[in-house]
A and B are shown apart, each in its own frame.
Chain A
Amino acid sequence: MTEPFDSELPLMQVKSLGKLYARKTSDTRRRMSRMARNAFWNIGKPGTAQISGSEFWAVQDVSFDLKRGEAIGIIGLNGSGKTTLLRILAGQLLPDQGEVMIRGTSAAMIDLQAGFQPKASGRENIYLRAAALGFRRSETAARVQEIIDFSELEHAIDAPLASYSSGMKMRLAFSVMAMVAPEVLIIDEVLAVGDFRFRQKSLAKVREMRAKSAFVFVSHSMGDVGRFCDRVMVMHKGKVVFSGEPDAAIAYFQTLEQNTTVAPEKSKSLIPAPVSRPDMISDFEFEWLDAAGSEPAAFMEGDAFGLRVSFVLKYTPRNLIVGVPIYDADGNVLAGLATDADGRKLEAEAGQRVVLEMKASDVVLVPGQYRAAIGITDGTEFMFMAELSDFLVRHVGRKSWGVVSIPFKWSYSVDGVAKNKPLQRTVNSLFSKRADH
């Protein structure tokens, strides 16, 4: 039994929140049948949720308070329960345990497509979204031009929403949210959509809203989370495993990320299907190499790394090429390391064992789990294609953002050369350049 809430101030109070999901639909239906029977005959209540069959806690025992002006970040690996938690906070799903109390108006930006009418125009959708947030048509009409101006969709505002790109939809959705200024705003990753400039504009608007509102913010951008949030919760397998200062939470998350294997179904889907033609290639072997030339458990950020492969040719190719694509956890191709990158041609004949060694001077990837594949082709024809083992890049103590870790060092002076010698470019020149475009 949870204790009564104070009415003192927090705009959002979350206590021991939990949500059950089932891997099998039959288990979900069984639970719903029980609930429907109770609801129909008005007997009993859901009571304490007990796990049965394939059920599991998608969110478990999450508690926090959120005051006006505060922003709480939620980070975690894919499938850690972040979005389910947000949906409960937004009132889209009911919890199976615990409770959420919200004081004042709230709005959620969780799914850009949701709640939009694709066949209606952008303008009509402004009215719809605002109506869903409790605004009368006349109230929305008074702000509609402001919303259109902010979204920068003047020319497309009367076109059907179905013709919008995801970036345009995000701009429209965000503009409505920003203008109605709810007291609690729940944002899931959506600010990652759209061009850089609008993203900055949105973040600036969010900062402007901070005095009056409270935010729950989910993002995979550690930079945004670190800069924007006062507190950050790290979720793992439905539970909050860390809660505290953004820097500490991000460091904890990166450790967690390094020690967790990538969900295979997501990244594998973008890696080409394996090809094996024993009449062309046989006895394929490979190993990752660290700076010392031995296979490491993990690469260190900034260290040298390499790959050695060996195989036997069963026929004489006319144009032998070996390539190694590197993928991130989401399956995006980050780099392609091919033998013909510098125009070099490999000469080998049938019956020969080919041994190749690739060396890279620095690991320029940010810490995390990566996947790689190898393709051996004769010109454009694949002779062999296989996924190599995952590899891990560990951090070396400094913070990293984005995808690549460029070796860099800042130096500074407070009374240096810039004072006497103006630099080549000014802010004005940058803005005039943008205006020209």
Chain B
Amino acid sequence: MKIDRSERIDERHSAVRTYVPDARFSATSYEAIRALFKEVWGYRSHVANMFSSDFRSSYRGTMFGIFWNFALPLVPLTVYIFLVNLRVFPRHDGLAPAIFIGFNVTIWSLMTGMITRPIQVLKSRNKESMKTSLPISVSIAASFGQLCFDTLVRLGLLVLMMIYFAQWPHLNIFGFAGALLVGMVFSLSLGLILAVFNVIIPDTSRVVTILLQYGIFMSGVIFPLTSLGGLVVLEKINPFAAVIKSSRDFLFTGRHSDSIVLLIWGGIAFILFMIAMRFFYVMERRIRGID
């Protein structure tokens, strides 16, 4: 019996494994997505344990303990709410400023977190991963656990603010979930690609940091882009702005005036996702151990 070489897509627990220089190169995007999800699922105990270990270590030794894990995610949000209430930034008509900012910062943090966390994980755990058989995708998945927790904490505060301001949503669940999905898929794809490039060109993470610092003001997070005059076009060409506006509209008004823009970004996110997952899958073993 001969072994079919098409089986070379590495699956840790398969009966026959082959390590060759061109391993994974022949994988299609669908195979890569399937393999990555299977990989993360196979190591779900590790994901859970790494998340809980990171979660506990972030407050270990402090006087207020777990309180910090709830307080710190709210800091950026409360700072921006404070500044808007001081009228440092223009206000948005229709929604209470605290809710406007609270929602936008939550979605912004979620999207940027999905870009920056893969970069950070690959940078900090790449050397260690060379010494183990633990896939880097597992470490990235574990880091998303913390991101999910931070997002839930922010959403919790948002709900409290909505009750306080009696600002009830008119939720379009499909529209809201769709917009959020587009944002998350787009960000994850970009994050995975940039994480690999950051190992090869270490300047990447610095450029990303600078762009995101400016990006928050160009994405309608703190104030509406309509207040920027000619730059209102960013609502269409900036995916962050498009996703934040769409998801906000779907949550608070139940409809969205510019669904075509969201659909276009949805298409781009899908294509990017297909490219990114295969790219990451092929490169993951190659970049291991590079400082």
Chain A contacts to B: CB under 8 angstroms: 4-7, 25, 28-29, 32-33, 35-36, 38-40, 42, 45-47, 49, 87-88, 90-106, 108, 110-111, 113-115, 117, 119-120, 124, 127-128, 131-132, 134, 137
Q: How far is the CA of A38 from the CA of B287 in the complex (A)?
A: 14
- Interface contacts (Cβ under 8 Å), in number, total 138
Q: How far is the CA of A87 from the CA of B56 in the complex (A)?
A: 32
A32-B12 contact given A100-B18, A101-B17, A110-B131, CB 8 Å threshold:
no
A127-B45 contact given A7-B2, A93-B285, A119-B57, CB 8 Å threshold:
yes
Do the beta carbons of B128 and A114 come within 8 Å of each other? yes
A14 to chain B: closest residue by CB? B19
Q: How far is the CA of A117 from the CA of B18 in the complex (A)?
A: 28
A28-B18 contact given A92-B132, A110-B131, A115-B132, CB 8 Å threshold:
no
Q: Does B96 contact A (CB under 8 A)?
A: no
A95-B20 contact given A7-B3, A32-B200, A115-B132, CB 8 Å threshold:
yes
Q: How far is the CA of A102 from the CA of B7 in the complex (A)?
A: 12
Chain B contacts to A: CB under 8 angstroms: 1-3, 5, 10, 12-13, 15-23, 25-26, 42-43, 45-46, 49-50, 53, 56-57, 60, 128, 130-134, 193, 196-197, 199-201, 275, 278-279, 282-283, 285-291
Do the beta carbons of A102 and B57 come within 8 Å of each other? no
A140 to chain B: closest residue by CB? B45
Q: How far is the CA of A91 from the CA of B284 in the complex (A)?
A: 12
Residues of B within 8 A of A134 (CB): 12-13, 42
Residue from B201, B278, B290 in contact with A42 in the complex, judged by beta carbons closer than 8 Å:
B278
Residues of B within 8 A of A5 (CB): 2-3
Residue from A25, A93, A102 in contact with B17 in the complex, judged by beta carbons closer than 8 Å:
A102
Do the beta carbons of A36 and B130 come within 8 Å of each other? no
Q: What's the minimum C-beta distance from B125 to chain A, rounded to whole angstroms?
A: 11
Q: How far is the CA of A120 from the CA of B142 in the complex (A)?
A: 15
Q: How far is the CA of A110 from the CA of B129 in the complex (A)?
A: 13
Do the beta carbons of B25 and A45 come within 8 Å of each other? yes
Do the beta carbons of A29 and B21 come within 8 Å of each other? no
Query: Which residue among B42, B49, B57, B278 has the maximum number of chain A CB atoms within 10 Å of its CB?
Result: B49
Q: How far is the CA of A32 from the CA of B286 in the complex (A)?
A: 8
CB-based closest 10 A-B pairs: A114-B131, A131-B45, A115-B132, A39-B282, A134-B13, A111-B131, A100-B19, A7-B1, A99-B20, A114-B132
Q: How far is the CA of A347 from the CA of B121 in the complex (A)?
A: 66
Do the beta carbons of A117 and B50 come within 8 Å of each other? yes
Residue from B18, B21, B53, B290 in contact with A97 in the complex, judged by beta carbons closer than 8 Å:
B21
Residue from A25, A101, A106 in contact with B291 in the complex, judged by beta carbons closer than 8 Å:
A25
Q: What's the minimum C-beta distance from B271 to chain A, rounded to whole angstroms?
A: 13
Do the beta carbons of B290 and A132 come within 8 Å of each other? no
Chain A to chain B contacts (Cβ below 8 Å), 13 pairs = A28-B290, A29-B290, A32-B199, A35-B286, A45-B25, A88-B19, A94-B286, A99-B19, A102-B18, A117-B53, A132-B43, A132-B132, A134-B42
A34 to chain B: closest residue by CB? B200
A104-B15 contact given A32-B290, A39-B279, A93-B285, CB 8 Å threshold:
yes
Do the beta carbons of B12 and A36 come within 8 Å of each other? no
Q: How far is the CA of A49 from the CA of B130 in the complex (A)?
A: 20
Do the beta carbons of A94 and B43 come within 8 Å of each other? no
Q: What's the minimum C-beta distance from B8 to chain A, rounded to whole angstroms?
A: 9
Do the beta carbons of B25 and A46 come within 8 Å of each other? yes
Residues of A within 8 A of B279 (CB): 36, 39-40
Q: How far is the CA of A264 from the CA of B199 in the complex (A)?
A: 32
Do the beta carbons of A46 and B22 come within 8 Å of each other? yes
Do the beta carbons of B25 and A36 come within 8 Å of each other? no
Do the beta carbons of B19 and A94 come within 8 Å of each other? yes
Residues of A within 8 A of B5 (CB): 4
Residues of B within 8 A of A111 (CB): 131-132
Residues of B within 8 A of A32 (CB): 199-200, 286-287, 290
Do the beta carbons of B283 and A35 come within 8 Å of each other? yes
Q: What's the minimum C-beta distance from B205 to chain A, rounded to whole angstroms?
A: 15
Residues of B within 8 A of A6 (CB): 2
Residues of B within 8 A of A91 (CB): 10, 12, 17, 19, 133
Q: How far is the CA of A124 from the CA of B56 in the complex (A)?
A: 14
A20 to chain B: closest residue by CB? B21
Residues of A within 8 A of B130 (CB): 87, 92-93
Q: How far is the CA of A114 from the CA of B127 in the complex (A)?
A: 10
Q: How far is the CA of A58 from the CA of B266 in the complex (A)?
A: 46
A95-B21 contact given A128-B45, A137-B45, CB 8 Å threshold:
yes
Residues of A within 8 A of B200 (CB): 29, 32-33, 36
Q: How far is the CA of A93 from the CA of B19 in the complex (A)?
A: 9
A128-B132 contact given A39-B279, A92-B288, CB 8 Å threshold:
no
Q: How far is the CA of A113 from the CA of B46 in the complex (A)?
A: 16
Residues of A within 8 A of B286 (CB): 32, 35, 94
Residues of A within 8 A of B18 (CB): 99-102
Residues of B within 8 A of A106 (CB): 17
Q: How far is the CA of A90 from the CA of B114 in the complex (A)?
A: 30
Q: How far is the CA of A176 from the CA of B80 in the complex (A)?
A: 50
Q: What's the minimum C-beta distance from A173 to chain B, rounded to whole angstroms?
A: 12
Residue from A35, A93, A132 in contact with B288 in the complex, judged by beta carbons closer than 8 Å:
A93
Q: Other CB < 8 Å A-B pairs besides A32-B200, A36-B279, A134-B42, 13 of them?
A: A7-B3, A28-B290, A32-B287, A38-B25, A39-B25, A45-B22, A90-B133, A91-B133, A92-B133, A94-B19, A100-B19, A131-B46, A134-B12
